[in-house]
A and B are shown apart, each in its own frame.
Chain A
Amino acid sequence: MIRTIKPFEYFEAKTVEYAIKILSMYGNKAKVLAGGTDLLISMRERKVNPQYVVYIKNVPELNYINYRREFGLEIGAMATLQSITESRVVIEKFSALATACSKIGTPQVRNMGTIGGNLCQDTKCLYCGPILPREETSCYRGGGNICYAVNGAKRCQAMAIAETAPILICLGAEVSISTPIGQKTTSLEDFFISSGIVDLKEDEILTAIKVPNPPPNTEGMYLRHSLKGALGFALVGVATVLTVINGVCKDVKIGLLGVNRTPIRAHKAEQLLKGEKINDSLIDRAVQVALKESHPLGDIFGSARYRREIVRVLIKRVINDTHRMLK
């Protein structure tokens, strides 16, 4: 529906410090604006109505893609998805990340959207829409005990859909967060909390994503499945980072999106593969274990069974293909 956005007071931040100052002053009445491809939809649909909006996309210290051999890759939170897709160093050294960014949305959305925004976006529920103020919903999301999206669901079915998350988690990424009392760093895996959103307080801003260098003999891959092909969010996303030496799996990380409320690592499946020679039956067993860890949820776009099927195929494919690349 095309409606107008409710009036708000606008601040353009040129530094992180200024942005945090505004957020601290106005608390939950304020929101940061980056690419706008998520927030502005919710504001137009009147589901989120901040009285104060802080525009952070022009903060120079947040927009960069740096690589150093000693430290690895560091991406500012305001780097657009398209700039990461096109970045020479990302394509050469972290190609699966470039792939993940290239699959999100449309070219227009990739030009506008930022990696920080992608990671920090709220969980998506079909019934509640992109974002509904939790105070206004009486389902699990708002603290109630019913789910309106899926009949008989025992818990909230809203899911994280941040497509940059699985591969970044597999790569061991860390995030830098700016708070009123200083900077802090946490692993991306820990940054997602069980409800599917990230652990960011009202007066905190995600400033950077740090990705360490993968060890030698390592390849990564990201595959996703979307109902609408190139357009539309991923129903399921599977990432892997695999290290193989002399035919033996030295290390493996498997990241899954769309099979749980939050992006997860298939830890038990990884343990199964580590130290073994990779073959078809091993991969099949690992997939079974990963599915048991997943608890895929179902909604209108895809039943739990359908997601399970797709995940099965994609995990097999990413392990096989990365293994082949390393032979």
Chain B
Amino acid sequence: MREQVAKFIVNGRVYEILIEPRMTLAEVLREKLCLTGTKLSCGKGSCGACTVLINGKTVCSCLTLAITAKEKNIITIEGLAKDTTLHPLQKAFIEYGAIQCGFCTPGMIISAKALLDENSTPTKREIKQALVGNLCRCTGYVKIVDAVMAASEALAKGDR
């Protein structure tokens, strides 16, 4: 009910903003910080479109109260590219045709990044397991898995 100022660390930048306790992290990212890469879809934690990283772990930002995420290290899709250089995951998704409408893509890439940060040489099965919380209605997932595999190989070669 009472608005309060909270500190958020998003993609390495510090923001101090006025929030209400009832606001979800997704709302704060999209509406207060204008980081609209994170998408809203099911509102139930089933689709993964709202996936972001908090302290390196994937969470559904639509089911996270923003106030509980203050002062934690938050990474959104906007935090992957370095200036105009895309992250190997982003490059691979483009090259492999893993993007059609693009709505699931931010969440997919964030989940894939969490996987590769922990396991740099995943098997196809491990990629599928890591992405099980991210639904895609367009691609049929094959190219998404191929793209993540290719990105893991590129990162292994020292790309980035």
A24 at the interface (CB under 8 A from B): no
How far apart are the CA atoms of A4 and B111 in the complex, in Å?
Answer: 25
- Residues of B participating in the A interface, judged by any CB pair closer than 8 Å: 1-2, 20-24, 27, 40-41, 43-46, 48, 51, 57-60, 62-65, 67-68, 111, 114, 129-130, 132-133, 135
B57 x A57 contact (CB < 8 A)? no
Nearest CB of chain B from residue A265's CB, rounded to whole Å? 30
Range of interface residues on chain A? 20 to 34
A41 at the interface (CB under 8 A from B): yes
A246 at the interface (CB under 8 A from B): no
How far apart are the CA atoms of A55 and B21 in the complex, in Å?
Answer: 11
B46 x A106 contact (CB < 8 A)? yes
Chain B residues, CB < 8 A from A41: 43-45, 63
- Residues of A participating in the B interface, judged by any CB pair closer than 8 Å: 1-10, 12, 33, 36-37, 40-41, 44, 53, 55, 57-58, 82, 105-109, 111-112, 230-231
Number of cross-chain contacts by CB at 8 Å? 92
A10 x B60 contact (CB < 8 A)? no
Closest 3 CB pairs between A and B?
A106-B133, A10-B21, A5-B22
A10 x B67 contact (CB < 8 A)? yes
Chain B residues, CB < 8 A from A82: 57
B58 x A108 contact (CB < 8 A)? yes
Chain B residues, CB < 8 A from A5: 22-24
- Output the nearest chain A residue to B41 by Cβ-Cβ distance: A2
How far apart are the CA atoms of A104 and B68 in the complex, in Å?
Answer: 23
B20 x A7 contact (CB < 8 A)? yes
- Output the nearest chain B residue to A57 by Cβ-Cβ distance: B68
